[in-house]
Amino acid sequence: MKTSSSAGCYGHAPDLMPPQAPRASGRRCPMKPLALLSTLTAAAQKRLLWIMLLAYALAASRPEPGLALRSVTPLHLGGTALPLQAGLLAAVVFNAGLTARTEALPALLRHPRALLVGITANALLPSVLLAVGAVAADGWHNPHEAQSLLVGLALVGAMPVAAGATVFAQGSEGNATLTLGLVIGSTLLSPLTIPLGLHLGGFLASGPYAADLHAAAAHACGAFAVLAVVLPCALGLLLGRLLTAHRPGLLAAALPVVKAVNLGVVVLLSYTNACGGLGQVVARPDPDFLLLVAVAAAAMCGGSFLTGWVLAARLGLPRADAIALAYASGMNNSSAGAVVAVTRIPGNPAVLVPILAYSLLQKVLASLLGAFVRHARFGDESSVVP
């Protein structure tokens, strides 16, 4: 009796014979290109912290390509020049808006308290913690290092909630809808909150360092926030909604490519932002400054996480909302802060060091926060927004 084979990766016995387990052959099912791309992207995202460290190491050892890219300014609008880094940041924000699941966001408007508290905490909490840091750094033996530290932390603290907060919050059983609302809300309000945060930081700094922050707030951040943050976010959200409503298959098919491109842009942006600042650290190492930066960035980031959690508990927010608020309080868009630093304060690359340190530490501390909230006791285990 002849056997027949089906069109698959394995040959099957004919229908008349009892079913048997397929025998291993030398052939394997070829993985489709998009599936392979999605698998590789997911694996890279799980190792993003190590990839960022490699990008920083490359920036420290081979900064020349990154410095060349930083000198490219493809767009001029009026008196505002938007360098390549602003375009890369816009691409990241656009992709975040495009891939956001916004169906449940209208429910936040019916119960807006947690959303308003989170956006307010993101806008004001870093300045409060920075004021404490300014007092602590006042006696540092090197005023340039202390002031550069304040400027760098003010820049990152003025930025909206990082999109990565949604991933950490969801993995810790936080309210994913609220976290996404905090990311989008703080991003759309950034033309107001970025200048506010920089001006508050300017009042805490002194001399030319304060002038740098006030100048960045007054002359650049309005246009920067609109063109590199708000507009791409709005366009991404709009396009995502249109595709979901009319061409859902097209969006689903494009997601692996979008995520892979976004990951590549994030790494390239991190590399270009780090060039210059880390090169100076390697060329003229200053251990006490690096120690100061690490301690201050960890204290500000960890204090933001903890304050967000305690504030949510004091306000009686549900547990899932408290987790979302904690992540939104401690995670800022450090890439945007680095872009402002290299474009508006190019004469002081030392301000990049605390921004880069904060970028790494917020990912490490976010993972530790996840372990903490999974075991922490909380009064209300529910959430207002499903």
Higher pLDDT, 224 or 182: 182
pLDDT at site 352: 92
How far apart, in whole angstroms, are the C-alpha atoms of residue 265 and residue 339? Answer: 14
Higher pLDDT, 86 or 119: 119
How far apart, in whole angstroms, are the C-alpha atoms of residue 281 and residue 287? Answer: 9
pLDDT at site 28: 55
In the chain the domains, ranked by start, together with CATH numbers, are 48-375 (1.20.1530.20)
Contact 327, 121 (CB under 8 A): no
pLDDT at site 204: 94
How far apart, in whole angstroms, are the C-alpha atoms of residue 74 and residue 76? Answer: 7
pLDDT at site 27: 53
Strands (E), the chain: 75-77, 80-82
The pLDDT tens digits for 269-293 are: 889 888 877 877 777 878 999 999 9
Report the predicted TM-score, pTM, of the whole model to 2 decimal places. 0.81
Give 75's strand partners: 82
Pairing between β-strand 75-77 and β-strand 80-82 as defined by DSSP bridges: antiparallel
**What is the token pair recorded at 259?**
């995520």
The pLDDT tens digits for 6-53 are: 344 434 444 444 445 455 555 555 568 878 888 888 888 888 888 888
Rounded to an integer, the average pLDDT of 331-360 is 90
pLDDT at site 2: 43
The pLDDT tens digits for 316-328 are: 888 889 999 999 9
**What is the token pair recorded at 215?**
């100048």
Residue 93: name the closest of 250, 227, 249, 255 by CA: 227
Contact 269, 93 (CB under 8 A): no
Contact 56, 270 (CB under 8 A): yes
The pLDDT tens digits for 73-101 are: 777 666 666 788 888 888 888 988 888 77
Kindly tell me the sign of the dihedral angle through the C-alpha atoms of 373, 161, 279, 353.
negative
pLDDT at site 297: 95
How far apart, in whole angstroms, are the C-alpha atoms of residue 181 and residue 186? Answer: 8
Q: pLDDT over 90 for what percent of the chain?
A: 34
Rounded to an integer, the average pLDDT of 95-120 is 85
Q: How far is CA 240 from the centre of its chain?
A: 20
